[in-house]
Amino acid sequence: MTRAILATLALAAAVHAGTAAPLPTDDEIPGWRRGSVSRIYSGAELFGYINGGSEIFLELGFEELSVQEYRKGDAGFVVEAYEMTDAIAAEAIYLFKGGEDRITSVLPARHSVGRFQLQFQRDRFYVMVNSVSGDEGVVPDLLAFGRAMVSRLPEAPDHGLRSLLPPGWLPGSFRLLRGPLGLQGQVILGEGDLLGWTAAGITAAAADYSASGADGAVRICRVVARYPTPDDAAVALERVQAHLDEYLTPVSHSTRHLLFQDWQQRYGLITVEEGILELTVHWPSPPPVPDTVADGRDETYLPVPDDAAIN
């Protein structure tokens, strides 16, 4: 099986010489040597490796993937080092892939590890180390690979995007978004990049919160994006209003907010204030529209209950 997988990798795409990825050298992890399979996929070549799964990489900002086989006796690892355009993109894809938002003494980078896979993020790299056998005995070596690679990479400065969100989000729910594909996990507002994040290089922060409603606790999602100017944020809202998805029904709106209901009778609210666009979705009842965004052109048709505040 191992031989077959590695043979397949060898056939999968064009071979290029050289790599900038922080790959371990032969015997840097004792006994592990590079195999014959080594490839680099640049830009959209990624489709040839992970097909439709590459869309989210490209949306977030993908530069190059280096794939390197390693062997130690009958055991085999395949390292996939995804070099993203910047450290935020790398963190975003790591979190999108479900990586745990933690750094431990075992590996000084965000990481998750199992018997078959280690994934971690450091600087501009998102890395997966795949164990072909899944043997428990090679997990320490998976982590050794991770430590060797992390040691070659600088620690990226804090991007500060977490501060866009209020504290108290549910563990494991923090995400970084750069376009409609990433946002799909929360809501589909309409076709295309209505919020203009991709074109403008805007990174939004998103997380889930526990909210109370008439029927008990519910999970709502909050997404916050900072635009270059207040006008930019206002235009994004107007575009959503003009091209709202057919399964969303507008409830009330103004130049600074849109309250809508989805097909499951849940509510969403978009507000813009001073260049900040905030989107909250999955409310079981209409959330209150802040006075600051309910301007003179506001048309509100719904009663606003007071039991929908975020805990």
Binding other proteins (rule: CB under 8 A), the pick from 86, 147, 213, 261 is 261
Binding to other proteins in span 5-34, by CB under 8 A: 5, 7-8, 11-15
Nearest to 78 by CA among 15, 156, 24: 24
Cα gap 3→79, rounded to integer Å: 16
Cα gap 176→95, rounded to integer Å: 8
- Contact by Cβ (8 Å): 156, 198: no
- Contact by Cβ (8 Å): 280, 288: no
Q: Determine the length of the chain.
A: 311
Phi and psi for 111 in degrees, rounded to 5? -155, 155
C-beta of 5 vs 156, nearer to other proteins: 5
Pattern 266-285, other proteins, x by CB under 8 A: --------------------
Phi and psi for 36 in degrees, rounded to 5? -80, -15
C-beta of 288: minimal distance to other proteins in Å?
Answer: 16
Q: Which two tokens stand for residue 26?
A: 């032969």
C-beta of 54 vs 271, nearer to other proteins: 54
Candidates 68-76, 83-91, 158-166, 252-260; binding stretch for other proteins (CB under 8 A)? 252-260
Binding to other proteins in span 71-130, by CB under 8 A: 97-98, 112, 114-117
Q: Is 100 helix (H, G, I), strand (E, B) or coil?
A: coil
C-beta of 34 vs 239, nearer to other proteins: 239
C-beta of 68 vs 285, nearer to other proteins: 285
Binding other proteins (rule: CB under 8 A), the pick from 75, 101, 156, 173 is 173
Q: Is 58 in the site for other proteins (CB under 8 A)?
A: yes
Binding other proteins (rule: CB under 8 A), the pick from 238, 275, 276, 305 is 238
